Structure 1
Amino acid sequence: MDIESKNNVSYSGMMYTHDFKAWYACLKKRLDNEWTVEDLSFLLGKPPYYYADFEKMFKVDDFLVKEDGLIRRIYGEVFTERMEFHKNDYEINEERMVRLVIEDKGQWKNYNISIPWEFAVGKKKPPKPSLVFEEWKKDEDIQIESDTLLHVRIELEKLLKLNFFKVRQTAIDIFERIKKTELYHHRIRPQHVKQGVYLLIQQAKIVVRSNGDRYCFHEDY
């Protein structure tokens, strides 16, 4: 469910507590990495809207079942957030409504999560996690961005010469390979690799094809 106004948008969805923990952790880690939802869709080999649908709480349980392995690979660790909810003796685990309100402040966005559960408190309980996040618009240094994109393009050309694209490669395979070449003054993000890959496609050096239900990239046969 989407509710939009001039400066904010609201989404809601039904979730069990275990799905909420994973959804929450994915949102937090995406923001910590300063990645966009399009970045995650690219790494998953999906259309640009794919990860956005998940973050807007569309079929969260289906997404988590289908993408568990790749999401863990992308974030590099077990991603379920540590949190514990207060539970009365008579309560059963059931789906409940979670709401996300995103308020556009111009230079940043506020993410406010409303949940139907209360966090358990006590000395032996995990600390209460924040339900409010900020996403700042990046004020990138034009020269550093240009240098990073050039570095990525050079590394992609090296992979072409090494016949890396003779076999089908997923977006996450390419990103991980390029990320390893990162220099101290670079911060390679998925968007840099995506731009480099699509430049190769424009130059007809590689093609993009569907491999099952994901995109992959390779030299044309």
Structure 2
Amino acid sequence: MNTELTNKDSYSGMMYANDFKQWYTYLKKRLDNEWSAEDLSFLLGKPPYYYADFERMYKVGDFLAKESILLDRIYRSSCTEKMVFYKHPFEVPEERLVRLTVKEDKICRYYEISLPWEFDLKKASLSQPSLVLEEWKKDGNIQMESDMLLHVRLELEKLLKYNFFKVRQTPIDIFERIKKTELYHHRIRPQHVKQGIYLLIQQAKIVVRSNGDRYCFYEDC
């Protein structure tokens, strides 16, 4: 196994302990779902770089205040990873510096987190959450990917036929509808739906427009 690093990046940001719990939870859920940061940007109706900025800890508190409700819908859960931090006497909540190092080799991406807080394992009755998370790179099955994309395109055409796009639809609304049609041997990801939608845009069957501060899709009749 080749473990030679091909890339290494480091990021840091200020956040409160409770914000860190949510940030960590959303990072772990994204990795568990085998989604990319761009997948999340799409589901949130935002530009491709949007979610990556959050994971790199840019204005975490502001992002969570704006996006946590929609992210909980995306992941179908509002639960955070169970962790309790030790509080010193007379300690008041304050923003502290969290560091993230992302190392990459040919097969995996490693997220190493450095914290300013101590875990209160006795109070939590839990083991310490992992501060090194892994994201395995996909060794894509070309035939399977082709089958899923074809399935998604056919389902989008059905939605067009049944006037689904006569009303403005958000990316998460479309993804949830397509996801329900998933076959047992498929694993439809946001990127598949995104590719299908942009094919419809290229064919001038639907258009993309801003809806407030997010984008949506509909038939422009």
TM-score normalized with structure 1 length: 0.96
Contact conserved, 2:84 with 2:124, CA < 8 A, in 1?
no
Moved >6 Å (runs of 4+):
none
Residue 151 (structure 2) aligns with: 151
Cα shift readout 1:102-157 (whole Å, capped 9, x = no counterpart): 00112111110000001012275232100001111101111110000000000000
Question: Distance between the aligned counterparts of 2:210 and 2:103, measured in 1?
Answer: 36
Q: 1:165 to 1:124 in 2, by over 3 A?
A: closer
Residue 38 (structure 1) aligns with: 38
Instruction: Specify the code of the residue in structure 2 equivalent to 1:27.
Output: L
Residue 127 (structure 1) aligns with: 127
Correspondence 1:160 to 2:160: yes
Where in structure 2 are there 5+ consecutive unaligned residues?
A: none
Partner SS state of residue 97, structure 1: strand
TM-aligned CA deviation for residue 191 of structure 1: 0.2
Instruction: Specify the code of the residue in structure 2 equivalent to 1:8.
Output: K
TM-aligned CA deviation for residue 82 of structure 1: 1.0
Partner SS state of residue 70, structure 2: helix
* Coordinate RMSD, CA, aligned: 1.2
Of 73-82 and 38-47, the range deviating more from structure 2? 73-82
Residue 84 (structure 1) aligns with: 84
Question: Distance between the aligned counterparts of 1:126 and 1:209, measured in 2?
Answer: 47
Contact conserved, 1:23 with 1:60, CA < 8 A, in 2?
yes
Q: How many matched pairs?
A: 217
Question: Distance between the aligned counterparts of 1:168 and 1:156, measured in 2?
Answer: 14
Instruction: Specify the code of the residue in structure 1 equivalent to 2:188.
Output: I
Contact conserved, 1:44 with 1:172, CA < 8 A, in 2?
yes
TM-aligned CA deviation for residue 173 of structure 1: 0.1
Residue 19 (structure 2) aligns with: 19
Q: 1:89 to 1:75 in 2, by over 3 A?
A: same
Question: Distance between the aligned counterparts of 1:81 and 1:121, measured in 2?
Answer: 14
TM-aligned CA deviation for residue 79 of structure 1: 3.6
Question: Distance between the aligned counterparts of 1:124 and 1:163, measured in 2?
Answer: 51
Correspondence 1:176 to 2:200: no
TM-aligned CA deviation for residue 85 of structure 1: 0.6
Contact conserved, 1:26 with 1:79, CA < 8 A, in 2?
no
Contact conserved, 1:166 with 1:219, CA < 8 A, in 2?
yes
Instruction: Specify the code of the residue in structure 1 equivalent to 2:220.
Output: D
Residue 198 (structure 2) aligns with: 198
Partner SS state of residue 119, structure 1: coil
Question: Distance between the aligned counterparts of 2:216 and 2:27, measured in 1?
Answer: 25
Partner SS state of residue 99, structure 1: strand
Instruction: Specify the code of the residue in structure 2 equivalent to 1:208.
Output: V
Question: Distance between the aligned counterparts of 1:150 and 1:41, measured in 2?
Answer: 23
Sequence identity, in percent? 71
Question: Distance between the aligned counterparts of 1:161 and 1:77, measured in 2?
Answer: 32
Instruction: Specify the code of the residue in structure 1 equivalent to 2:97.
Output: M
Where in structure 1 are there 5+ consecutive unaligned residues?
A: none
Partner SS state of residue 122, structure 2: coil
Residue 212 (structure 1) aligns with: 212
